[in-house]
Structure 1
Amino acid sequence: MLATKRRTNPARSSTTRSALIAAAREAFIARGYSGTGTPDLVEAAGVTRGALYHHFVDKQALFRAVIEAESAAVAAEIETVPMDGSPIAALIAGGEAYLTAMAVPGRTRLLLIEAPAVLGRAEVDAIDARHGVRTLREGVQAAIEAGAIKPLPVEATAQFLGAAYDRAALAIAGGADCGECSAALRAMIEGLAARQ
């Protein structure tokens, strides 16, 4: 008789949580946060309502988990880009990687439209600080330390550059020319260069 390998409780729990996050991501993209009910979520994930509330206090907590996962995915995509060359080139490459990551269908809507409306600006900023803005902050810090850009306040510079890239992502999602947006952002970063 063949023994079947049973999944451990933590493995089952992780699988259920992942299924809920994946199903919620698709539902929130398709119908928005307000247009998605918990019955839609449990049906799409193939779990019970009890399983949903075992993993997440409410729909907003599940939405927060989706936003955290999307933000982490954006940062991971940025971190896979080779940052060879000058610190300015690395900042530009990281920015291009951000725009590419944001081109994943539904991501701009989730992170830049739905998330601030549902979670509030402060919470979205805190999530972003752990992920996308963190990568930008590290790039700005490295460029300042290398003398490649003017000695500016790192946090403020990262926040303002991040806001510019967010606006570009929104514009591109709305049909703006990606090449034109990238050229403007590139010029902005090059304008920070320290003059020798």
Structure 2
Amino acid sequence: MATQTALLAAARPLFAERGFNAVSADEIVRGAGVTRGALHHHYGDKRGLFRAVFEQVEEEIVQEIADVIAAGQGDLFPRALTAFLDITERTEVRQIAMTDAPAVLGWQTWRELEAQYGLGLLITMVEASPVVDSTRPAPMLAQIVLSAVVEGALLIAYADDAAATRAKVESSLLALFGDLLPE
């Protein structure tokens, strides 16, 4: 466990600062104070370590949004959306989760992991919606919301004017899903 922790702690800031492709496995193991064999034993390769870092970031994002939801001040979806967009503007999240993860892990795996971590919160939020029924089940609606919110975060991440794009994305998502998601 200590070796895995050391590898994650060494790799995460490097991936966040320079991106996956600009960081060598040798640099990571040196920073962690372990051998390359330890990297291979625990993660298979640099890509496996990156996946573990990405999952760590996703877990933290979900926890932070869950904390915002639990605080219970104001409308649920706007608070959760604002928190998510704030989080995705962080350099670390933008580089690891929004830029490198789709390329390093592949689109399919990235989407599956996004759903694995964030979908549960959305399903819980959507289940309280009056529009949920057998023809519009909560898991399907939540997956659509998650896809739209992630796409909005990507629009912001790659925009020339992130602030203006963020305002438009947030307004658009609130208009699109405001009636679906409970207050």
Which TM-score bucket, shorter chain as reference? 0.7 to 0.9
Partner SS, residue 90 of structure 2: coil
Q: Of 89, 113, 116, which aligns to 1:103?
A: 89
Kindly provide the amino acid, as one letter, of the partner of residue 90 in structure 2.
V
Instruction: Report which stretch shifted further, 17-26 or 170-179.
Output: 170-179
Question: Is the alpha carbon distance of 1:121 and 1:139 closer, same or farther for their aligned partners in structure 2, counting shifts above 3 Å?
Answer: same
CA–CA distance in structure 2, aligned partners of residues 90 and 33 of structure 1 = 35
Q: 1:166 aligns with which of 137, 150, 165?
A: 150
Q: Which runs of 4+ in 1 moved over 4 A?
A: none
Query: Structure 2 CA distance, aligned partners of 1:163 and 1:185?
Result: 11
Q: In 2 relative to 1, CA 37–85 (structure 1 residues): closer, same or farther, beyond 3 Å?
A: closer
Task: Tell me by how many angstroms 1:167 deviates.
Answer: 2.4
Taking structure 2 as the reference length, what is the TM-score of the superposition? 0.82
Q: Which residue of 1 aligns with 2:169?
A: 181
1:77 offset after TM fit, Å?
Answer: 0.6
Q: Distance in 2 between matches of 1:33 and 1:82?
A: 32
1:41 paired residue among 28, 34, 44: 28
Structure 2 vs 1, CA of residues 38 and 66 (structure 1 numbering), >3 Å: closer, same or farther? same
Q: How far does residue 30 in structure 1 lie from its aligned partner after superposition?
A: 2.8
Asked if 2 retains the 8 angstrom alpha-carbon contact of 1:29 and 1:109, the reply is yes
- Residues 53 and 93 of structure 1: CA distance in aligned 2, closer, same or farther (over 3 Å): same
Unaligned runs of 5+ in 2: none
Gaps of 5+ in 1: 1-13
From 122, 128, 135, the counterpart of 2:121: 135
Aligned-residue Cα RMSD (Å) equals 2.3
Q: Highest relative contact order (Cα 8 Å, sep 6+), 1 or 2?
A: 2
Once the 2 structures are TM-superposed, how far is the Cα of residue 193 of structure 1 from its aligned partner? 6.5
Q: 1: CA distance between counterparts of 2:10 and 2:35?
A: 13
Q: Work out the CA distance in 1 between the residues paired with 2:122 and 2:99.
A: 21
- In 2, the alpha carbon distance for the partners of 1:46 and 1:85 equals 45
More helix, by proportion: 2
State the percentage of identical aligned residues: 33
> Equivalent of 2:104, from 91, 114, 118?
118
Larger Rg over CA atoms: 1
Q: Which amino acid aligns with 2:105?
A: L
